[in-house]
Structure 1
Amino acid sequence: MSVLDFFIGLAGGEPGRVFGYLTSGGTEGNMFAVWVAREQHPDAVLYASAEAHYSLPKLARLLRMPYVAVKTRADGTMDTSALVRELARHPGRAAVVTATIGTTGRGAVDDLPGVRRALAAAGVGRAWVHCDAAFGGLLAEFCDEPIPWNLASGADSVAMSGHKVIGCPVPCGVVLVPESDVVAIREEGVAVGSDDDTITGSRDALAPALLWYELRRLGRRGLADRALQCHRTAAHAERELARLGRNPSRARGGTIVLFDAPPQDFCHRWHLVRDESHAALVVMPHVTERHIDRLCAELATG
């Protein structure tokens, strides 16, 4: 419960009114939240940005929900004007909208208040907004200018990972939903005298202990320092890559720096994700300015 209490507080939830449990990772967290939402709105269409996590279209198929990939803006965030148009194509139906807080490709953070405005503009009264904050929740919370991303900012549910910024050595996560809405999926007393209100039933007991240890070790201040250091390192990378003429870009609140791609062997050596034109430098807590300086020095001589 100590781990859950921490995440409920971090997400701006009200104790006693938020249900949560430790998941195997972001995919399970997304699935649980959307499942609960679908039980509240059986006719719902699931919407997410075209750059949302790959789990979203997959779980839409598993839950037998229509799925709409909404166009993104140039910065990788969901185009809320396009969302209004997509909502209008499904009149009378409920909407479950996933706002991505830190996309996999470039760390973009969807406009959570903008999603709420889009739902109002489209006249959708029956709606649920889920935040997939697996990667970017902590980064959005602890940056120079905090970005809306959580329950306190208008989300109905939130999923986060414990093995990314926090650094738990095994994959894990946390999902948070309203306690009042879990009743729809809860089966009382069926699991050897316990209630069944999760996806997997039996769950790993090691991950909660490891998360508890790391949260006790770092505390909120330590996590904030870790996230801020990631932001500073990403800003340093952006400056140095610009100096080399590599045209870097970084999403607001993100720590993924895109730049003109070097050769494939360079990307392989430096563990950079590469497409046809860009390489992605993902700044996590272990990446330091010294790493950036070494990478840039090699780029400069290559």
Structure 2
Amino acid sequence: MTLIPELQATELLPRVVSTGKSSAKRQKLQTDIEEKLAITECSGDSQPNLTSIISHYLQSLKHYSLRNLGYPTNQDFNYDPLHPLLDFHLNNAGDPFLGSSFSLNSTSFEVSVLNWFASIWEIETSEYWGYVTSGGTEGNLHGILVGREQLPDGILYTSEDSHYSIFKIAKMYRMKCVKVRTLISGEIDCADLKVQALAHKDKPAIINLNIGTTMKGGIDDLDLVIQTLEDCGFTPDRYYIHCDGALFGMMFPFLKQASRISFKKPIGSVTISGHKFLGCPIPCGIVLTRLEYINGLSKDVEVIASRDATITGSRSGHAPIFLWYALKTRGLVGLQNEVQKCIMNAQYLKNRLLDAGIGAMLNKFSNIVVFERPLDYKFSRRWNLACNGNIAHVVVMQHITVQMLDSFVDEFLQQRSISFEEGRFQPICVANDIGAANCACTLHHSIS
């Protein structure tokens, strides 16, 4: 038996949900876990005991990695050659392009990574600025901050399907935030954007554009958004566009038929998460913006002999090396192959669900399969599904095989049949979430 069975492997001290007859047993398990993890030894705990605890925790991680379907973290990686770097504290405080007086840094790796993304997003190295962040939220914090500094009285527009960090950022920065409706796909509804923008046309517009929404993978149409702003009378000096590309921002450049994210278009910043498609073992990300915007955000700091222009002070020096290694080992061809594999397997999952009578949707260029939410809570936890309202999704990443998807669908069908036999089963109507054509409830299934 593992130390942390039936628990979130991502939590060091997970909480057991107590339900039914097993409540007392689960509570006892939770108490045992808390006692083992409690930091109480005045002289320090013994190494054998510490090794045992970590060993059990590793077992739980391996157990959950076999069914990690609902969240966009690529688990298919090997960074063994980088292990010796963990013997050093690496800190990239300050401006990566200037370095700092703290010599144990990896800014040369960081700049190499940033230059690679600059070429992908079509901006000259002499015209951009950026850094490696702690993740997508920090990238959004920085990008929207740049937009606000350019347009201090601007209104933030973002779709209702945007990542929760956008609404948190609006609150933190005390910005007026207009929530725009979305289409069934999760894409921003530019008809509603036009109505909202015209209603506030006396104020500049700061747009958060989603290159893949969290739940459905909906991709906002950059060109249509720009056209909508221009139709409303907004000139480029009166709007700022930040692109939140968390997962898909890394995949988009390798899809030939998809529209491009490019600084040749009037965008102000782009951010992606490094721990998602690239598969870094620690949360991280990249944010790029135009160099001309940065001077107003920067301040020289003598103690580090650098310039402070980032959200955080101390920044991970290990993350840029992981990103550099991930890009170096794969190359453009390897990345493109991984993108195609994920999208093909996502299509496979969608077809299997639909063939089995389970309502499902998959957006074009997406690896996120959305379907009716399973009725069984334990099943959703077992497969680490992300759920919202009546729907759930699987994000088909590199570590997810066809065999895993088959096991998931087979178990899903078994769970549904048990509910049916017990008289509890009625297919959830998800027409409002994924469209009537994709719904498998009694009404819409019979219509289709």
Settle same-fold status: TM greater than 0.5: yes
Judged with a 3 Å threshold, the aligned counterparts in structure 2 of structure 1 residues 274 and 53 are, in CA distance, closer, same or farther, namely closer
CA spacing shift, 1:248–1:179, aligned 2, 3 Å: same
What does residue 202 of structure 2 align with? 92
Change (3 A) 1:86 1:32: same
Letter in 1 for 2:282: V
Preserved CA contact (<8 Å) 1:135 1:165: yes
1:51 matched to 2:161: yes
> Which residue in the other structure is 1:158 paired with?
270
For residue 307 of structure 2, give the secondary structure of its aligned residue in structure 1.
Answer: strand
Q: Provide the C-alpha distance between the structure 1 equivalents of 2:345 and 2:147, rounded to a whole number of angstroms.
A: 38
Q: Secondary structure of the equivalent of 1:151? A: coil
Distance in structure 1 (CA, Å) of the matches to 2:191 and 2:385:
33
Distance in structure 2 (CA, Å) of the matches to 1:111 and 1:212 = 30
Is residue 2:183 matched to residue 1:73? yes
Specify whether residues 284 and 153 from structure 1 end up closer, same or farther in structure 2 by C-alpha distance, changes over 3 A only: farther
- 2:195 is equivalent to residue 195 of structure 1: no
Contact 1:112 1:155 in 2 (8 A): no
SS of 2:278's equivalent in the other structure is: coil
Cα 1:15–1:60 change in 2 (3 A) is same
Corresponding residue for residue 377 of structure 2 = 264
Amino acid across the alignment from 1:155: I
Give ranges in structure 2 of 5+ residues lacking alignment: 1-110, 416-448
1:245: which partner in 2? 357
Which residue identity lines up with residue 150 of structure 2 in the other structure?
Answer: Q
Alignment of 1:119-134 (within 5 A): 119-125=229-235, 126-134=238-246
Q: For residue 346 of structure 2, what is the amino acid of its counterpart? A: A
Q: Among the aligned pairs, what percent are the same residue? A: 36
Query: Judging changes above 3 Å, is the alpha-carbon distance between structure 1 residues 19 and 166 closer, same or farther for their aligned structure 2 residues?
Result: same
Q: Provide the residue aligned with 2:394 in structure 1.
A: 281
Across the two proteins, how many residue pairs are aligned to each other?
302
Q: Contact 1:96–1:128 at 8 Å: present in 2 too? A: yes
> 1:301 Cα shift?
3.5
- In structure 2, relative to structure 1, the CA distance for the partners of 1:109 and 1:190 (3 Å cut) is farther
Q: Structure 1 regions of 5+ residues with no counterpart?
A: none
For 2:152, which of 34, 38, 42 is the aligned residue? 42
Deviation at 1:284, TM superposition (A): 1.2
Aligned to 2:297, the other structure's residue is in SS state coil
User: In the alignment, which of 121, 127, 135 is matched to residue 25 of structure 1?
Assistant: 135
Q: Which of 118, 132, 141 is 2:253 aligned to?
A: 141
Question: Quick one: distance in 1 between partners of 2:403 and 2:269?
Answer: 38
Q: Distance in 1 between matches of 2:165 and 2:307?
A: 26
Distance 1:276 1:18 in 2: 40
Which structure's CA Rg is the greater one? 2
SS of 1:259's equivalent in the other structure is strand
- Higher strand proportion, which one? 1
Q: How far does residue 147 in structure 1 lie from its aligned partner after superposition?
A: 3.1
Q: Does 1:219 align with 2:331?
A: yes
Match of 1:173 among 285, 293, 304: 285
Residues in 2 aligned to 1:15 and 1:250: alpha-carbon distance in whole angstroms: 36
Which residue is equivalent to 1:205? Answer: 317
Question: Given the alignment of the two structures, is residue 14 of structure 1 paired with residue 124 of structure 2, yes or no?
Answer: yes
2: CA distance between counterparts of 1:65 and 1:190? 32
Question: How many Å separate the matches in 2 of 1:91 and 1:107?
Answer: 29
Per-residue deviation, 1:276: 4.2
Given the superposition, is the C-alpha separation of residues 197 and 274 from structure 1 closer, same or farther in structure 2, using an over 3 Å criterion? closer
Give the whole-Å Cα distance in 2 for the aligned partners of 1:154 and 1:222. 30
- Helix, strand or coil for the counterpart of 2:354? helix
Which protein has the bigger helix share?
Answer: 2
Q: Which moved more, 1:89-98 or 1:275-284?
A: 275-284
